[in-house]
Amino acid sequence: MAVQETASQLSMALKVQEYPTLKVPYETLNKRFRAAQKNIDRETSHVTMVVAELEKTLSSFPVVDSVVSLLDGVVEKLSALKRKAAESIQAEDESAKLCKRRIEHLKEHSSDQPASVNLWKKKRMDRMMVEHLLRCGYYNTAVKLARQSGIESCLEFSLRIQEFIELIRQNKRMDAVRHARKHFSQAEGGQLDEVRQVMGMLAFPSDTHISPYKDLLDPARWKMLIQQFRYDNYRLHQLGNNSVFTITLQAGLSAIKTPQCYKEDGTSKNPDCPVCSKSLNKLAQPLPMAHCANSRLVCKISGEVMNENNPPMMLPNGYVYGYNSLLSIRQDDKVVCPRTKEVFNFSQAEKVYIM
């Protein structure tokens, strides 16, 4: 029963945390399918038109040259249809393979082989870390980790735009045109508007003062691209503001966070508590406290739980310690409070009862 509950909880966690993992390639496949359908329908209509024109010409006893010209047009349109169909099928096939690869990756969590499950957990953690590093701006580190783990990420359209701008800046205009034909031919929607804008740079010198081309050539645009890389892709891919790694870390911190972790005097902090550490204390500050239906008292001296076998004892100064700990530090029937350094008789310690 416990195993079933654990598997069910893991399955639910995967559905929540890995939603963008499948959502992104699915939306890409859906988009490419619609684009392919439009391209093929358009090219098919072109073929139909030239064939109809050829049939009309043949019915009126034409000269050979006109028939040859029309046949060349039919061949040209059929070649264009074949090329568009092949390109569309290849693009859809790549997206479908990516969906399949990610589904197979997520299915590995249910493997019966412990070694396979451990390998899957490592790969998943590497992927989460790469995403987190990219969000934080550690691109070189993310690329190295992605290459080592075999989970390298794809290039951004905005970076292709910047490559075009850099070619214009260097007056390599023919190279810029070839770059645009190669990378911008499938642009749609907002991307198409941006392509139209940057293509206007071909008509102006690289030192132009005309807006918006002057702004596009500004080296400060790289900083804007960094922000665009972060936030536009979150919105485009329907990702949350925080990475899965951050969400998982914050959930763990919230589960163990207590008011004692934020005492100003610092005497109540536990060196073994992640929330009490300097590196994670600030990160956990806006998070809610741990929900504990049943509280447990832990001795400050020994770290042991105070219960019926180790009852809590309160010194006259109000501090509470475990009975076994007071016995261990008792000398000549006296105990020294570790916090205030006050000395009390052992008999002055009173048992604490919790209702």
Burial class (CB in 10 A: 0-12, 13-18, 19+), 1: exposed
Inform me whether the pLDDT recorded for 291 exceeds 80: no
As a whole number of angstroms, the distance between CA 187 and CA 44 comes to 21
Query: What mean pLDDT value characterizes the chain?
Result: 80
Are residue 27 and residue 99 in the same domain, yes or no?
yes
Q: Does residue 343 have a pLDDT over 80?
A: yes
Q: What confidence category does residue 81 fall into, taking pLDDT thresholds of 50, 70 and 90?
A: confident
CA distance linking residue 106 with residue 99, whole number of Å: 11
Closest to 20 measured CA to CA, from 243, 337, 340 = 243
Residue 301 belongs to domain with CATH number: 3.30.40.10
Contact residues for 245 (Cβ-Cβ < 8 A; gap 6+): 128, 129, 131, 132
Please indicate, yes or no, if residue 317 is contained in any of the structural domains.
yes
- Inter-residue contact 103 to 14 (CB < 8 Å): no
- Residues 102 and 194 occupy one common structural domain: no
Q: Is there a single domain that holds both residue 100 and residue 11?
A: yes
pLDDT more than 90, % of the chain = 3
Residue 293 pLDDT level (bands cut at 50, 70, 90): low
Structure tokens that stand for 179 in this block: 């770059």
User: Does residue 233 have a pLDDT over 70?
Assistant: no
The yes-or-no verdict on residue 240 having pLDDT over 80 is: no
Check pLDDT > 60 for residue 2. Answer: no
Q: Quickly state the pLDDT bin for 153 (edges 50, 70, 90).
A: very low
Asked if 177 and 272 sit in the same domain, the reply is: no
Does 142 fall in a domain?
Answer: no
Domain for residue 143, yes or no?
Answer: no
- pLDDT number for residue 314: 92
The answer to whether 267 touches 234, Cβ cutoff 8 Å, is: no
110's tokens: 């249910």
* 118: Cα separation from own chain's centroid: 21
Q: What is the arithmetic mean of pLDDT over 104-112? A: 74
Q: Is residue 144 part of a domain?
A: no
- Residue 299: its pLDDT value, please? 86
Place of tokens 């475990």: 322
Predicted pLDDT at 169: 86
Residue-wise pLDDT for 4-36, tens only, equals 445 566 666 666 677 777 777 788 888 888 888
Question: Binning pLDDT at 50, 70 and 90, where does residue 39 land?
Answer: confident
Token pair listed for 113: 């082989």
Residues 89 and 30 grouped into a single domain: yes
Q: At residue 297, what are phi and psi to the nearest 5 degrees?
A: -95, 130
Residue 217 lies in a domain: yes
**Antiparallel, parallel or unpaired: β 320-322 and 350-351:** unpaired
Separation CA 96–CA 94 (nearest Å): 5
92 and 172 housed in the same domain: no
Residues 28 and 97 occupy one common structural domain: yes
- Interhelix angle 189-199/157-169, rounded to 10 degrees, is 0
- pLDDT at position 220 is 81
Question: Is 6 in the same domain as 106?
Answer: yes
Which pLDDT value is given to residue 287?
A: 87
Chain centroid to CA 100: 19
In a domain, 305, yes or no: yes
| Total domains, the chain | 4
316 belongs to a structural domain: yes
Same domain, 260 and 318: no
Residue 155 scores a pLDDT above 60: no
Q: Is 27 within the bounds of a domain? A: yes
Check whether the bond before 212 is cis (ω within 30° of 0): yes
**What is the residue range of 307's domain?**
297-351
C-alpha span between 320 and 339 (Å, rounded): 11
Considering 46, 81, 110, which residue would you say is the last residue of a domain?
A: 110
Looking at the fold, whether 75 and 41 belong to one and the same domain comes out as: yes
With a pLDDT cut of 70, the percent of the chain lying above it is 86
24 and 103 housed in the same domain? yes
Last residue of a domain, one of 110, 144, 169: 110
Statement to judge: residues 269 and 325 lie in one domain: no
- In the predicted model, is pLDDT for residue 238 greater than 60? no
Q: From 82, 110, 138, give the residue that closes a domain.
A: 110
pLDDT in tens, 184-225: 777 666 677 788 888 888 888 878 888 877 888 888 888 877
